[in-house]
Amino acid sequence: MLVEKSTLLSLENKTEGQWAQNEQGGLLLGYRKKSGLQITGFTLPQRSDLASPTIFKRNSEGHAQLALKAWGESRGTVDWIGEWHTHPAGNSAPSTTDIANWVRLSEHTKKPMVFLILSKFGWYVGLQNHSPKRLVPLQCIESSSSATLFGEHRNFYSKAKFIF
C-alpha cells in the first residue's frame, strides 16, 4: 500500500491536539491498482458522526457525498479504499470492535480495505481482505520525501509493534 507523504502529514495535522477529546475518523480515498492500494486523500469527521472518547461511528451520508465528489472529479478513478480513526485515550492497536467492523466493511465492498488508527503513541496500519477473511498488519517498508510504502510484516507477534 502506498500513501502520499502529503496525505500522511495532512492527516497528522488534522488530528494533532485532539488526543484528550473524542475519537474522530473518516474515509480513506485513493486508487485500486493491480499492485495494491494508493491512498491519496481522506474525509474529515462530519457533524452527523457519533463520537465519544472511546467510540467513533461514521454517518455514511456525509462521507459518501464527499467520496462521490472525489470519484466524479477524478472521472471515476478515485475509490473508497478504507477508513481511518483515532484512539485518543489509548494505543493504536485495533479493538475487537474495530476488527469486526473492518470484516463487515470488506465483506460489503467485496474488496480489500485499508484501515489506519492514529494515537498519540503512533499508528496502526492494516489491510482487511474479504476472501479469505484475513487482517494483514502492515508496516513501513520504505519512505521517501513524496510517499511511504507499507507492506506485510512477516514476524508479527504484537499489534503494538506496528507503531512508528
Q: Please give the Cα distance from 26 to 43 (Å, whole number).
A: 5
Nearest to 3 by CA among 134, 136, 90, 125: 125
Q: Catalytic annotation on 23?
A: yes
Q: Which of 23, 61, 73, 83 is catalytic?
A: 23
Beta-carbon contacts of residue 125 (< 8 Å; ≥ 6 apart): 1, 114, 115, 116, 137, 138, 139, 150, 162
Q: How many CB atoms lie within 10 A of CB 101?
A: 18
Active site residues: 23
